[in-house]
Structure formats: structure tokens, C-alpha cells
Amino acid sequence: MKKTVYLARPVPSEVKAYLEEHCHCIEWQGEGRLTSSDLFNLLSTADGLLTSGTLINAELLDHAPKLKVISNISVGYNNFDIDEMRKRGIVGTNTPGVLDDTVADLIVGLMLATARRISELDLLVKQGLWKKGMNEEMFGLDVHHRTLGIIGMGRIGEAVAKRAKFGFDMDVLYSNRSRNVEAENKLGARYCAMDELLKQSDYIVIMTPLTKETEKLIGQAQFALMKPTAIFINASRGQTVDESALVEALQAGTIRAAGLDVFEVEPIELDNPLLKLPNVVLMPHVGSATTATRNDMAMLAAENLVAGLSGQVPPNVVSELRA
């Protein structure tokens, strides 16, 4: 008998066909916004859940007594209450690897956009403010042959470092929980303490997962260590940075600029002061958002789900939930 899975978000047709081959799929069929009670009702018979950010907590799990596998269509899994899932023997999976190059492309794009003031100058031209003889007003900063500091040298960090080293002849520093010898050997990356990285880097990219240890990892003290010409890039999670401290650093000239794909509150609130700063490039959390990559992520999540419900160990069980 096929296991029942709840699809909390639409998936590509080929992914849906794969899931239906192995499982009985249920989806929200009602009109209007899905309520908590609607969700709990759908999950009451579900053996598996395919999602991209549903908050998994004790209340939800109390209403899902049959649930055995939760598959995130995301590399992040800060929506999981790991303790509750472990207590109930529920497997959680994510989708690392398939999005690395796509996210790295966006990070490099943010570096270039902030350094060369692309958004700011695009608006200047479109508003008819480009005047003959404008010189220093439009100057930016070089990316090539500068120093890049990466906080969190995982797969995506390595992909960024590769582009920086071989595409822009940059020196690469990194700070990590443990040394990444492969990145050192292949990319010439140099391991150092985070304070040293912050002081020396021209571009600083944070790519750590969101955990209790990394929440507001970058704050006022860390921005104070950066060069006044430093450019800060965040494509990890908004909560890894003290956003008010970032705003203060940008307004005061403590750092030069920032490129952000993630925020403390998403979607970003309309009164957020970041929206009024010319030295910030903002993106709506689209690091992995290309059609090909999102399709690959959905298929990997589906494969994780089917494997788990078939009694196998899924290929991408999150580390905290491994047996």
C-alpha cells in the first residue's frame, strides 16, 4: 500500500509524476489562505511531508501522528525543531549540492553589483541624471586582485572561492568550524580566525547555516573590525547578522556597502531602513532561484522522501538527525 505524502508547495510535473508513482499525494484544494487547522487536518493521515519552510514544531507534530519523513526543498533546515523530531523518530532531509553553483553565481553578482554600484548607477541613468563630465561621482571599487573572506567554507563557500580565485585573481581567506584542507589545496584558501579575516578582507561573505551558535554572529563588534572600504555579502540566513548593527555600519561609513539576499524578517518590511540606503543591493531571497536548479532541488527532495518512506536511509538526512 502506498504511503501518503502531503505536498505543501507545488512541484514540477516530472517531480509530481515521480512522487505519484511511489506515493499517494495529497494537496491543499481549498480556496483562500491555508489555515493551521487546515494544515493539521491534511497532516493527520500523512506519512511524509514535502515542504520548503513549513515550521516543524511540537504543535504541528502533535497533529501528525503518522509522520515519518519531512523533506525540505532547501539546503537550510532552521524550520526543523530537531529535538522534537528526534524524540519522535522523524527523519528530516534537505537538498545540498544541487544549488551550490547557482547560489555562488548570485553571491559573485552581489559582489560586482555593490562594488561597481550597478543598481545605483542604473537608476541614475534611467532618471536622466547622467551628466557629461561626471567622473568620481560614478567611481566604484575593483573586485579583481582583492581579498575575499568567506565565513563558512562549505560547498557554496568553495564554489564562491573558486570563482574568486580563478575568475578574479582574488586572495581567499576563510573561517570555519574546522579546516577545509581540500579548499586550501585546490584554491589556495588560507584558514584564519574570524577577527583576522574581518580585518584583512575587502569582501566578506557569510555562508554559515543558522544555528544557536551563528545567530547574530556578525554584529557591531564585527563590523567595527572591517575596513571602511569593505563590502559585506549575506546569502545565508538573515538572522546570522544583527541587522540594526549592519544599518548603523552602512549609515556611519564603518563599511562601504552591502549586498543582501536574506533578511531578519522576510519579506522585508517596508519601513526597514535598508530600503533607503543607496549603498545596499537587495534581492528577495532568490539565491537558488533558477528554473533548472529549483527543479533539481524539488526532485532531490522527492527522492529523499521516497527513500525514507521505503525504509531506506535517504541520501541527505540532516546531520543532527542521523542515526
**With contact defined as beta carbons under 8 Å apart, do 313 and 30 qualify?**
no
**Residue of 182, 215, 266, 269 marked active site:** 266
Q: Which helix (H) or strand (E) holds 150?
A: strand 147-151
CA 79-298-214 angle, to 5 degrees, is 30
How far apart (Å, rounded) are the C-alpha atoms in residues 49 and 72?
8
From the candidates 9, 22, 24, 285, give the one annotated as an active-site residue.
285
Catalytic residue among 146, 163, 237, 294: 237
Query: Does the annotation count 24 as an active-site position?
Result: no
Distance CA 49, CA 42 (A): 10
Q: Please give the order of strands across the beta sheet that includes 231-234.
A: 190-191, 171-175, 147-151, 203-206, 231-234, 257-260, 280-282
* 55/59 Cα distance (integer angstroms): 10
Question: Is residue 63 flagged as an active site residue?
Answer: no
**C-alpha pair distances (Å), 235 with each of 69, 188, 193:** 27, 23, 21
Name every residue whose Cβ is closer than 8 Å to that of residue 264 and which is 6 or more positions away in sequence.
Answer: 238, 239, 241, 243
Residues near 310 by beta carbon (within 8 Å), at least 6 away in sequence: 22
Q: Write phi, then psi, for 183 (nearest 5 degrees).
A: -65, -35
Q: Is 285 a catalytic site residue? A: yes
Rounded Cα–Cα distance for residues 205 and 221 (Å): 17
* CA separation, residue 159 to residues 102, 105, 142 (Å): 9, 9, 20
SS3 assignment, position 109: helix
Q: Which residues are catalytic?
A: 237, 266, 285
